């Protein structure tokens, strides 16, 4: 019985084991329940803005900008070049060289700079006020102007350079018709000549000699002294239809000498001359009287150097049709009531501060020539032509005049008026009033003081 019970128990145990295994197999074959996964929400793209950064002339910036996410904090740094300083930002009130911004919109900034090199420094640096042996001087002529005209100018100019020194950036312009003068118009436009007048034709430009062209804005200033003449003027200098070729040449050469002397007068004044001599810094009688005085003596000296002038008398060579001696006597007679009035001059006319303006010297050309000659007489040619000029930059004209003449301007005017009305009208001018011989033997134009 014991055996049977055990066997039965074994059979029961085996059944349980088999049944259990079969149940597990059925359970493993049952498919897993379905799982539904929801997609994660997408993150929206950030808003972006554009930053534009530029540098004005005279410096640079640390970045040119770009496109950045909203809220990005960016620091911009401006750096000035040598000779410039940072002045601020266009687009922001900050005056700091470093600007930190947070982008919440499209933004534009420009770093601004200004030159710390003065115009005077620039002029001295390029030797604008220093006479040279081989200066940079040019002619711009209409296509219709023959080469011989251009060669003639350079020939005369070489003798002027030898006397008072060659100054760079002197430009002679000769225009003709608009059709033949496109190169002239292009050159003057490039130089920004009187650009505020919006000229477009040679008729707009006209004749303007001597005219300065100094402007001082962004970039290098243009420092050209320009003499603008027409081809017609070259052919008929005084527009008087003079037929004598020698007299025509004399009139033309007088123009060359007169206008280039104005270049000499302006250069020692450096940045105090804003392109023109007639801005009140120098008295008009001294400017024009000095040029008239110079051109007459220079023409007498250099007549032998120009074939076209051969055979002319001193009267014909002069720009006033008389010898210096005859002109001097004539004006003394006028002021003493011994000769008919000439132009606006009569015994009641007195040289005064009115002649310090260009309006005041209108129609008195030859008397201001006499006034300058009188200045030479009471000082010497070096003082009258050079020394007063070279000290004007530092002292001003009136103080320089006083230092060199020991007279105020009003005292000089009174002295000249008294001289013209009391001296013998038939007496020859004082020997030192109109010196003869090479000008460089009694005036040293070349060593005019260089300011620093």
Confidence at 39, pLDDT banded by 50, 70, 90: low
Instruction: Give alpha helix (H) positions in 379-442.
Output: 381-382, 388-390, 392-395, 397-405, 409-422
Residues 174, 140: contact at Cβ < 8 Å? yes
Confidence of residue 1 (pLDDT cuts 50, 70, 90): very low
| pLDDT tops 60 at residue 22 | no
Q: Determine the angle formed by the axes of helices 324-335 and 409-422, rounding to 10 degrees.
A: 90
Whether residue 8 is predicted with pLDDT greater than 50 in this model: the reply is no
Share of the chain above pLDDT 70, in %: 88
Residues 96 and 74: beta-carbon distance below 8 Å? no
Domain 119-265: state its class: alpha beta
Predicted confidence (pLDDT) per residue in 387-439, tens digit: 999 999 999 999 999 999 999 999 999 999 999 999 999 999 999 999 999 99
- Cβ pair 337, 345 in contact under 8 A: no
Per-residue pLDDT, 451: 66
Longest dimension (CA), the chain: 187
pLDDT digits (tens, 9 = 90+) for 249-276: 999 999 999 999 999 999 999 888 866 6
pLDDT digits (tens, 9 = 90+) for 344-369: 899 999 999 999 999 999 988 889 99
Q: Which of 393, 389, 391 is nearest to 445 (CA)?
A: 389
At residue 390's C-alpha, the angle toward residues 388 and 392, to 5°, is 70
Q: What is the pTM of this model?
A: 0.78
Residue 126, C-beta contacts closer than 8 angstroms, at least 6 positions apart: 168, 223
Phi, psi of 58 (to 5 degrees): 105, 5
Band of residue 130 on the pLDDT scale cut at 50, 70, 90: very high
Is residue 213 pLDDT above 70, yes or no? no
| 119-265 shares the fold of 48-116 | no
Look at residue 342 in the predicted model and tell me its pLDDT.
86
Q: How far apart are CA 90 and CA 287, in angstroms?
A: 45
Indicate if the pLDDT at residue 201 is higher than 70.
yes
* Range 48-116: architecture per CATH: Sandwich (2.60)
**How far is it, in rounded angstroms, from Cα 117 to Cα 76?**
26
Domain extent listing, the chain:
48-116, 119-265, 278-452
| DSSP 8-state class, residue 255 | H
On the question of pLDDT at 5 being above 50, the answer is: no
């Amino acid at each position: 019985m014991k055996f049977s019970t055990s066997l039965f128990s074994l059979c029961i145990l085996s059944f349980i084991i088999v049944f259990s295994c079969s149940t597990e197999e059925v359970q493993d074959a049952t498919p897993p329940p379905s799982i539904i996964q929801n997609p994660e929400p997408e993150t929206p793209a950030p808003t972006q803005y554009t930053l534009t950064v530029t540098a004005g002339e005279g410096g640079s910036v640390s970045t040119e900008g770009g496109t950045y996410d909203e809220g990005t904090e960016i620091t911009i740094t401006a750096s000035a070049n040598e000779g410039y300083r940072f002045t601020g930002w266009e687009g922001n009130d900050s005056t700091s060289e470093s600007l930190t911004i947070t982008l919440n919109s499209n933004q534009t900034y420009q770093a601004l700079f200004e030159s710390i090199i003065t115009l005077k420094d620039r002029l001295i640096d390029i030797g604008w006020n220093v006479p040279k042996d081989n200066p940079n001087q040019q002619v711009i002529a209409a296509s219709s102007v023959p080469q011989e005209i251009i060669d003639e100018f350079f020939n005369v100019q070489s003798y002027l350079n030898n006397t008072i020194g060659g100054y760079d950036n002197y430009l002679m312009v000769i225009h003709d018709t608009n059709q033949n003068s496109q190169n002239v118009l292009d050159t003057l436009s490039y130089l920004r000549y009187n650009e505020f007048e919006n000229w477009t034709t040679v008729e707009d430009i006209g004749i303007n000699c001597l005219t300065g062209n100094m402007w001082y804005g962004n970039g290098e200033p243009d420092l050209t002294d320009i003499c603008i003449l027409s081809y017609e003027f070259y052919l008929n200098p005084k527009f008087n239809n003079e037929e004598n070729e020698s007299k025509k040449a004399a009139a033309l050469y007088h123009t060359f000498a007169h206008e280039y002397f104005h270049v000499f007068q302006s250069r020692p004044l450096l940045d105090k001359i804003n392109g023109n001599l007639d801005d009140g810094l120098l008295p008009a009688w001294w400017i024009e009287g000095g040029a008239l005085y110079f051109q007459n003596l220079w023409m007498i000296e250099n007549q032998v150097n120009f074939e076209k002038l051969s055979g002319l008398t001193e009267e014909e060579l002069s720009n006033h049709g008389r010898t210096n001696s005859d002109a001097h006597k004539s004006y003394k007679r006028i002021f003493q009531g011994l000769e008919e009035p000439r132009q606006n001059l009569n015994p009641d006319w007195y040289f005064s501060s009115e002649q310090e303006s260009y309006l005041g010297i209108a129609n008195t050309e030859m008397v201001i020539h006499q006034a300058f000659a009188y200045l030479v007489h009471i000082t010497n040619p070096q003082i009258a032509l050079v020394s007063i000029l070279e000290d004007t930059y530092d002292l001003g004209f009136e103080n320089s005049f006083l230092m060199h003449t020991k007279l105020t301007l009003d005292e000089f005017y009174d002295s000249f008026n008294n001289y013209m009305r009391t001296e013998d009208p038939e007496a020859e001018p004082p020997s030192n009033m109109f010196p003869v011989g090479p000008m460089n033997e009694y005036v040293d134009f070349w060593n005019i003081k260089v300011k620093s």
